């Protein structure tokens, strides 16, 4: 039986509440610290969050494969799905001013519209987690009947709209309730973590960057899923505590990633031989957001005419900032090995200490 939560009283152990408030302060501090550097780092943090959220669902790919999929030079299935999750996260942030059923459907549509005709529609059939495809009798969890999804989502939206709850606890419980409703036939986990980011932005705890909370959850996926199970059994404290701990882990990892990227930029400043007003430096800045580029992306992002791209890329290639990985003069593409290495190191630090259940 799914209990409504729109007007529920929140009762948490004092230690859990204190930990969640400490996490909220750290999230706000991280966001404020990077506020003046939003342009280069907001995008890379959002992509890191999307990749980590996908990895929780066993969708893994290297930073290079993901970046190549973004410009269409790779068609690997996992990479394409992670790029789709980037779109879902972007939708979650862009729509954070208004969290409602349509917002949630738009997040899901952004995630799956390329591969699932039911994308953006709440399910019209029973689903279950674990136990095989023959029926739910051996399932680990059976969500509410499809006839109850709309009412459950309406209740969740009313809960999300409250302004009397501590933000981290509020977001954690909204996320857990969403995962319990399981309103879609597929993609609930990734959509639910996008909703979590939307909640953090909606409540103004984060204002400029996407803290890669999923990278913190990824450090102990088993504990994350056990916390969701505990929530369904009537204990909201477990998921609040898990999100708080994940936030601390994510912030530490995110700070290390940003420092790595700053060091890379400092090294480029010593190696790139171009005038400071040259568009070459704009291309170098673009690599913080897109570590694999081609002429089409550079033209789209920077407004540099296609015929002039090579002129501004050549100093970066000479400094080994960029490495060309295509053959021939048509459809040329380049990658920044240093940035890709930093992104892979971020993912490796998040790691995975325990295997997840299906979500």
Residues 6+ apart with CB under 8 A from 72: none
Model pTM?
Answer: 0.92
Contact of 64 with 292, CB cutoff 8 Å: yes
HSE on the CB side for 99, CA within 13 Å?
Answer: 29
pLDDT in tens, 315-344: 999 999 999 998 766 778 999 999 999 999
Q: What is the pLDDT of residue 358?
A: 39
Q: What is the pLDDT of residue 349?
A: 94
**Averaged pLDDT, 30-37:** 82
Q: How far apart are CA 183 and CA 152, in angstroms?
A: 9
Q: CATH top-level class for 270-342?
A: mainly alpha
pLDDT in tens, 90-137: 999 999 999 999 999 999 999 999 999 999 999 999 998 877 776 777
Contact of 96 with 201, CB cutoff 8 Å: yes
Taking the domain 14-128+145-254, which CATH number applies?
A: 1.10.3290.10
Q: What is the pLDDT of residue 36?
A: 67
Q: How far apart are CA 237 and CA 226, in angstroms?
A: 12
Helix axes 167-181, 149-160, angle to 10 degrees: 180
Q: Which helix (H) or strand (E) holds 294?
A: strand 292-294
Query: Of the candidates 172, 159, 174, which has an alpha carbon nearest to the alpha carbon of residue 240?
Result: 172
Q: Residue 5 pLDDT > 90, yes or no? A: yes
Q: How far apart are CA 297 and CA 280, in angstroms?
A: 14
**Averaged pLDDT, 257-262:** 95
Q: What is the pLDDT of residue 39?
A: 58
Q: What is the pLDDT of residue 251?
A: 96
Q: How far apart are CA 81 and CA 25, in angstroms?
A: 33
Confidence of residue 141 (pLDDT cuts 50, 70, 90): confident
The DSSP output letter for 356 is P
Measured in whole angstroms, the distance separating CA 85 from the mean position of its chain's CA atoms is 7
Residue 134 three-state SS:
coil
Helix axes 337-350, 237-271, angle to 10 degrees: 160
pLDDT in tens, 277-296: 999 999 999 999 999 999 99
Contact of 251 with 211, CB cutoff 8 Å: yes
Contact of 231 with 225, CB cutoff 8 Å: no
Give me the residue label for tokens 């409540």.
203
Q: Residue 187 pLDDT > 60, yes or no? A: yes
How do the domains of the chain map onto residue ranges? 14-128+145-254, 270-342
Q: Residue 225 pLDDT > 60, yes or no? A: yes
Q: How far apart are CA 261 and CA 345, in angstroms?
A: 11
Q: How far apart are CA 149 and CA 240, in angstroms?
A: 24
Q: How far apart are CA 198 and CA 182, in angstroms?
A: 18
Angle at 56 between CA 55 and CA 60, to 5 degrees: 15
Q: How far apart are CA 183 and CA 171, in angstroms?
A: 18
Q: How far apart are CA 206 and CA 204, in angstroms?
A: 5
């Amino acid at each position: 039986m799914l209990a409504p939560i729109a007007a529920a009283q929140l009762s948490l152990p004092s230690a859990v509440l204190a930990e969640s408030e400490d996490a909220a302060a750290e999230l706000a501090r991280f966001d404020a610290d990077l506020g003046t550097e939003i342009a280069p780092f907001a995008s890379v943090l959002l992509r890191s969050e999307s990749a980590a959220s996908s990895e929780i669902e066993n969708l893994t790919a290297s930073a290079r494969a993901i970046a190549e999929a973004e410009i269409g030079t790779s068609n690997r299935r996992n990479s394409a799905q992670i790029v789709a999750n980037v779109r879902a996260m972007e939708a979650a942030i862009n729509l954070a001013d208004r969290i409602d059923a349509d917002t949630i459907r738009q997040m899901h549509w952004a995630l799956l519209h390329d591969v699932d005709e039911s994308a953006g529609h709440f399910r019209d059939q029973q689903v279950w987690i674990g136990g095989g495809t023959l029926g739910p009798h051996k399932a680990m969890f059976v969500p509410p009947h499809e006839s109850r999804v709309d009412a459950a989502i309406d209740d969740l939206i009313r809960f999300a709209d409250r302004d009397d709850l501590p933000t981290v606890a509020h977001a954690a419980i909204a996320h857990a309730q969403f995962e319990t409703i399981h309103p879609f036939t597929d993609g609930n986990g990734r959509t639910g973590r996008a909703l979590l980011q939307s909640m953090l932005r909606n409540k103004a705890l984060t204002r400029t960057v996407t803290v890669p909370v999923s990278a913190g959850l990824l450090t102990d996926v088993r504990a994350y899923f056990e916390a969701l199970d505990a929530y369904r059994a009537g204990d909201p404290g477990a998921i609040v505590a898990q999100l708080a701990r994940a936030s601390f882990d994510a912030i530490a990892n995110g700070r290390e990633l940003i420092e790595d990227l700053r060091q890379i930029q400092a090294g480029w400043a010593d190696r790139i031989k171009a005038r400071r007003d040259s568009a070459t430096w704009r291309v170098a800045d673009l690599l913080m957001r897109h570590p694999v580029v081609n002429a089409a992306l550079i033209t789209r992002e920077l407004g540099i005419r296609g015929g002039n791209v090579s002129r501004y890329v050549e100093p970066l290639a000479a400094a080994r900032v960029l490495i060309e990985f295509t053959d021939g003069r048509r459809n040329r593409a380049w990658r920044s090995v240093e940035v890709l290495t930093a992104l892979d190191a971020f993912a490796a630090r998040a790691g995975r200490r325990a295997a997840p259940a299906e979500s």
